Chains A and B, each alone.
Chain A
Amino acid sequence: MAEQDITQHRYTDGRPNLRRFHQAKWDEPIIFELGREGQRGLLVPEVEEEIRDQVGDVLATLPETMRRKKSPNLPELSQPQVLRHYLRLSQENLGADLNIEIGQGTCTMKYSPKINDQLAGQPKLAELHPLQDEATAQGILEIMYRFEGMLKEISGMDRFSLQPAAGSAAIYTNLSIIRAYHESRGEADQRDEIITTIFSHPSNAACARTAGFKVITLYPDQDGYPDLEALKAAVSERTAGLMITNPEDTGIFNPRIAEFVEVVHEAGGLCAYDQANANGILGITRARDADFDLCHFNLHKTFSSPHGCGGPGGSACGASKELARFLPIPLVAYDGERYFLDYDRPLSIGKMRPFYGYAPVVLRAYAWVMSLGAEGLREVAEIAVLNNNYLLNKMLEIPGVSAPYAKSKRRIEQVRYSWEELTEETGVHSEELGIRAADFGVHYWTSHHPFVVPEPCTLEPTESVSKDELDEYVAIISHVADEAHTDPVLVKSAPHNSTIHSIDHTPLDDPSRWAMTWRAYRRKVGTRKT
């Protein structure tokens, strides 16, 4: 055989080819299909004979109605089988560690440093009980206290609670504080409306409704900016507060945000800043400087803690001096000698979750800030925004895509693109393009519902990807968009290189066929003859 340059497949006419990707496909059975009777994955410590002799048959202490009659029908597997099963499933999952993870705009899929995972996983944190004597938990309390100090500086707010479990839980917490504030002034019954914008996360609206408020949603003006006139028309003596993201999920920063806050304040309402999109403005602009009363950060987004397939995340709610008294209990405090949990807060809204928040997430976030410092955080924002605008320029070179609103303006952390033109030309929808992109090892997300931007696609590169990776991502999207013209059937029938093929979603909305557990599936579908 003639000697060949084995790198030549990487290029055609000097231009890089797309990666020849295929997602892992193990055809892995459901765990209930694995194992054999009698196999064991783990043995638990045996009860010593002396204990056994003394206590006798403990199960006999249970009344008949409380004693389980039939063993749970769990699978029976040996340990290596369990490990293999789950490692195969892990390979069939495209985590941010593996792919050019810029396609989940609004989610800030940045690099989660491994050292921080290692630090957070140590027994010195993992084996701490939350109700230990505070004297034995000074290390983690100091970390929480110091991290609160960092957030105060980053946002300008006066106090933070690290208790809320994630972004939406923080939104709910802020709504509870808004309610408590109006209760404290005897206006809770009157002030029953929350205003939000359509490009703020849906939880701002959904949590408000859950908390008992009526929801007013503002739509953008022609340029895509939240509409100040619409806000002025919406506020009244019934306004409890404004829940707003900035920059919004379109990537557009609302330049009149301080006026928004002022309008709501003048009407007697409070303003809560959903800072889920804070990554691009770290060190650039601060919540308190726009006079917000409340804000929250997502520690699993801006502050690098990994997303864990959808949590555990972590959140931090910040409050002005006036509203700090309502924050959940306890707060972490320091008396000059020791760190302690301060429960002596009579106006607090109480507990939002067990104990004090996701300590390992707080530790990771703290370590991340410590690794960067003030200049580093600003570098994060500047590079994330540089990456985003670089990507925007490259994306707009692809025929059929646009970035609606604020024409020729720069964007902050992300862009909500539209494939409307391409869909009109080819009949291929944005969601289908995203699924076809999976055949090349990347993915993208469309948008929250409703799709205000038609055929949406939301990209957020963060600071964690290289220029070459941005180029590679755009090359994939460009290739897929081209396929939509040349071979739409190929795109519409995607994925082809994934773990599985096109899913039939109809059973998922049919009560007679949906199955959220294997036992339900076996009962409803699995026993049918096919």
Chain B
Amino acid sequence: MSQGESTVYPYIPNSVPEIKRQMLEATGAESTDEFFEDVPETLRFRHPMNLPEPLHSEYALKRHVDGLLSKNTTAGEFLSFLGAGCYQHHVPAICDEVNGRGEFLTAYAGEPYDDHGRFQALFEYASMMGELLNMDVVNVPTYDGFQAAATSLRMATRITGRRQILIARTLSVDKLSKIRDYCKPDIEIELVDYDKETGQMDLGALKTQISEATAAVYFENPSFLGFIETRGDEIAVVAHDQDAICVVDADPISLGVMTPPVDYGADIVCGDIQPLGMHMQYGGGHAGYIATRDEEKYVMEYPSRLFGIAPTSILGEYGFGDVAYERTSFAVREEGVEWVGTAAALWGITAGVYLALMGPHGMQDIGEGIMARSRYAMMEINKIRGVKAPLFQAPHFKEFVVNFDGTGKTVAEINQALLAREIFGGVDLSRERPELGGSALYCVTEVHTKDDINRLVKALTEVVS
């Protein structure tokens, strides 16, 4: 690896001293230091950086990183019922195969001629999402569901020229934090209460709070707390009666069995596509979608890239390109709509692969299977003395709130005891949602078998008794 004093780095072809010498000679420079002539001496960092000793060999590096990662215990090794925005679904092998292809993995921003495949794959992703959502316009993914929600709300304020947003109070504290920060400059956010029994948005309160100043009414379906907002159509009517926009945040994996929000009145639909073929990756699998009808006033308010299909000079050939590029910050800097930049395109391609594999029947099967398992889990957990599941009397999709107030134990105590039994219990809501008492948010998906659920129930029964 070394030639005399100097290290030759495998990732740096011209680190070979002789090549370096030739190149310096070609540039007429004595040393590479000359290239930094514009960096004033007062700003030059003249001593070695204090970094860990390098692991030059690939094997040593692998040993080191493997050693660190071995300190993790995964949701595959333990039995996990964690959700709350990041979900353990099965990732089809083809999803990893496609997003691991170097042509996709290492591409960036080539022209539609260099990167025809990227454009087509993302156009197809948007098209399949469009079928799932029953909508004509879907963006190239933004960062995550939080950003998708925050941008959807700002879109609504621009479309309506109004500044107030009404949000169901059941939203997660984290997502609300993001929305508040993103809407801070000039948007007022009001929370709408929910029914303590059912979790449903309080329509009476909504009607009181909505006004001519309201740009949008926003709710999640299924909600962060797992229940389904069954009166989405009525909420949309209340919004539309005031000429406000109805924004619905929907988990795409629910849409094989649940009504696409546009069919009960949503104008903008948004969410996170992590469930569609992305590993959890400690929160690294997120990407956001935004969908609308194909109306110019909506399209022109997207900050994201939108890829459209177009003819080429050869009849029957498909080309692709940016739709209405002039609205973006790439084209007109601060005069554009919000901003656009590197986001999460590879996850969009992957979600497309997922939907192509699943097809209409797969999406229906998975939705129904998740509902059956989570319902079974709720029924069995509810049989445990002192435990209530679900807390909200409403239909649920894959998550549900379990209340432990009758057990005399805190969720933290219960989760510690479950952990000792190699189970990750549901997300503790006690601090975020004190009004729910000692409650946890459990998530059950297609990866959970009957035996898994029974194991949880047995463990919980032991733990709370």
Tell me if chain B binds chain A: yes
B127:A32 contact, CB within 8 angstroms: yes
Q: Are A72 and B103 in contact (CB under 8 A)?
A: no
Report the bound CA distance from A196 to B30 in whole Å. Answer: 35
Interface mask (A262-298 → B, CB under 8 Å = 1, otherwise 0): 0000000000000000000101111001100000001
- For residue A122, CB closer than 8 A to chain B, the reply is yes
Asked whether B131 lies within 8 Å of A310 as measured between CB atoms, the reply is no
- A504-B332 contact, Cβ under 8 Å, with A382-B32, A516-B136: no
**Contact partner of B9 among A72, A372, A495, CB < 8 A?**
A372
Q: Check A91 against B334 for contact (C-beta < 8 Å).
A: no
* A338 CA / B371 CA spacing, docked (Å): 38
Whole-angstrom distance between the alpha carbons of A131 and B427 in the complex? 7
Residue in A41, A130, A206 whose CB lies within 8 Å of B334: A206
- The CB with the most chain A CB atoms within 10 A, among B9, B76, B299, B379, is that of B9
Q: A206-B329, A208-B334 are in contact. Are A412 and B375 (CB under 8 A)?
A: no
The segment from A10-18, A163-171, A227-235, A483-491 found at the interface with B is A163-171
- A142–B282 alpha-carbon span in the complex (Å): 13
Interface size class of B (residues with CB under 8 A): 35 or more
Would you call B333 and A202 a contact (CB within 8 A)?
yes
Interchain nearest-CB distance for A434 vs B (Å): 7
Q: Is the CB of B260 within 8 A of A93?
A: no
Cβ of A54 within 8 Å of any chain B Cβ, yes or no, is yes
Check A342 for interface membership: any CB of B closer than 8 A: no
A471 → chain B, closest Cβ, in Å?
10
Which of chain B's residues have a CB closer than 8 A to the CB of A118? 62
Q: In the assembled complex, which residues on chain A have CB atoms less than 8 Å from the CB atom of B360?
A: 71-74, 76
- Smallest CB–CB gap between B366 and chain A, Å? 5
Chain A residues contacting B72 (CB-CB under 8 Å) are 124-125, 128, 136-140
B238 within 8 A of A: no
Is there contact, CB below 8 Å, between A307 and B69? no
Are A371 and B174 closer than 8 Å at their CB atoms?
no
Closest to A465 in B: B13
B359 touches A206 (CB 8 A): no
Query: Taking CB as reference atom, which chain B residue is nearest A183?
Result: B184
In the complex, are the beta carbons of B356 and A85 less than 8 A apart?
A: yes
Give chain A residues whose Cβ lies under 8 Å from the Cβ of B185. 210-212
Contacts of B333 in A (CB 8 A): 202, 205-206, 215, 217, 448-449
**Which of A31, A83, A392, A501 touches B313 (beta carbons < 8 Å)?**
A501
A508 touches B116 (CB 8 A): no
Does chain A have a CB within 8 A of B88? yes
Measured between beta carbons, the chain B residues less than 8 angstroms from A289 are 43, 45
Asked, given contacts A90-B104, A517-B137, whether A498 binds B116 with beta carbons under 8 Å apart, the answer is: yes
Question: B373 at interface (Cβ–Cβ under 8 A)?
Answer: yes
Query: With an 8 A cutoff between CB atoms, is A146 at the interface?
Result: yes
Using Cβ atoms and an 8 Å threshold, which residues of chain B touch A51? 372-373, 376, 450
Contacting pair A434 B111 (CB below 8 A): yes
For window 153-169 of A, CB contacts with B under 8 Å fall at 153-154, 165-169
Q: Quick one: which of A137-153 are within 8 Å of B by CB?
A: 137-140, 142-143, 146, 150, 153
| Contact indicator A212/B43 (Cβ below 8 Å) | no
The verdict on B239 contacting chain A, using a C-beta distance below 8 Å, is no
| Binding-face segment, B18-26, B160-168, B401-409 | B18-26
A30 at the interface (CB under 8 A from B): yes
Do B52 and A104 touch (CB < 8 A)?
no
Interface residues of B in 314-371 (CB under 8 A from A): 314, 317-326, 329-336, 338-347, 349, 352-353, 355-366, 368-369, 371
Query: A375 an interface residue at 8 Å Cβ cutoff?
Result: yes
Known: A127-B280, A310-B345, A350-B180. A374 touches B49 (CB 8 A): yes
Closest-CB distance, B177 to chain A (whole angstroms): 4
Q: Are B23 and A91 in contact (CB under 8 A)?
A: no
With known contacts A93-B118, A205-B334, A354–B105 Cβ distance under 8 A: no
Question: At the interface, yes or no: A249 with Cβ under 8 Å from chain B?
Answer: no
Q: Known contacts A66-B228, A69-B259, A95-B102: does B62 contact A115 (CB below 8 Å)?
A: yes
| B435 within 8 A of partner (CB) | no
- The answer on a CB contact under 8 Å between A500 and B113 is yes
**When the two chains form their complex, are residues B280 and A126 in contact, meaning their CB atoms are under 8 A apart?**
yes
Quick check: A165 and B143 within 8 Å, CB to CB?
yes
Indicate if A240 sits at the interface (CB-CB under 8 A).
Answer: no
Could you tell me the distance between the alpha carbons of A349 and B182 in the complex, rounded to whole angstroms?
A: 10
Per-residue 0/1 for A73-103: is the Cβ within 8 Å of any B Cβ (1 yes, 0 no)?
A: 1111101001101111111111111100100
**CB proximity of A28 to chain B, nearest CB, Å:** 7
**Bound Cα distance A75, B9 (Å):** 47
A427 within 8 A of B: no
**Once the chains are docked, how many angstroms separate the CA of A168 from the CA of B142?**
11
Q: Mind listing 10 A-B residue pairs with CB under 8 Å?
A: A104-B109, A132-B82, A142-B71, A258-B42, A372-B9, A375-B48, A393-B27, A463-B15, A501-B313, A507-B310
Q: A127-B76, A129-B80, A516-B323 are known contacts; what are 16 more A-B pairs with Cβ within 8 Å?
A: A30-B309, A31-B352, A58-B371, A112-B105, A119-B66, A124-B69, A201-B341, A211-B184, A289-B45, A357-B283, A387-B23, A412-B35, A467-B23, A500-B112, A504-B319, A517-B123
